[in-house]
Every structure is written in structure tokens, then in C-alpha cells.
Amino acid sequence: MKKRTGGAVWGLAVALLGAPGCLQAPVVPPQGLVYSGTSAPLDTDLDQADLGAHRGEASTHSILGLVAWGDASTSAAAAAGGITDVKHQDYHYLNVLGVYQSYTTIVHGD
């Protein structure tokens, strides 16, 4: 019986290359394999032109997909900007060769 080990290698490759594309948001800009630095909205209720007077950000970071840290929650971003009434949310995603990744939640409000 011939032993096959290629499946495990392909599974790992798919997991590593597919992980950056797992972002689920109303708008997901195209992602690059070597470098991505994209921003887009997190909400689709854009009938308000007023974003508010304040802006707050909160981020998470990852190295090689092995370690990750941070708090990119809406509440952390609102607290960082001194916001009690969130009016709009955006996000920024950064990926460099899958070695370094960051995800930032950006909130606007008063």
C-alpha cells in the first residue's frame, strides 16, 4: 500500500492561504497575496452623512498566524475615541506575506 503525504501539505497550504480571505463584512475589498492594505465600511446603514466629531481605533495583530493579540472590538475603539454614540464603523486590514497581519476597527461618533 502506497502512503500519501501530499494531502496534509495541500491542506496546510489551503489553510494558510485561505485564512486571510476569511474576513466577513458587508464590503470586502480585493486582497493581495504578497501585500494587502485595504479599508472598507463595517456597516451598510449609510443614510447619515454626519460621522460625528470623534474617531476611535482598536486593533489586533498576528505574526505567522502563530501568535495573535489585541482587542479590535467596537467598544474598545469607542473608548479609545471617547465615543458614547457610535454613528459609523470602518475597518482596515493589513497583511504582509502572511507574516504580519493586523485588523483595525474604526468607529466614528460623538
- Which pTM was predicted? 0.73
Q: What is the pLDDT of residues 44-98, one digit of tens each?
A: 776 666 788 999 999 999 999 999 999 999 999 999 999 999 998 999 999 999 9
Q: Which three cell numbers stand for residue 66?
A: 502563530
* Distance from the Cα of residue 81 to its chain's centroid: 19
Q: Which amino acid is at 30?
A: P
Query: How far, in Å, CA of 25 to CA of 27, rounded?
Result: 5
The 10s digit of each residue's pLDDT in 2-32 is 444 444 444 434 444 444 445 566 677 888 8
Distance of CA 3 to the CA centre of its chain: 39
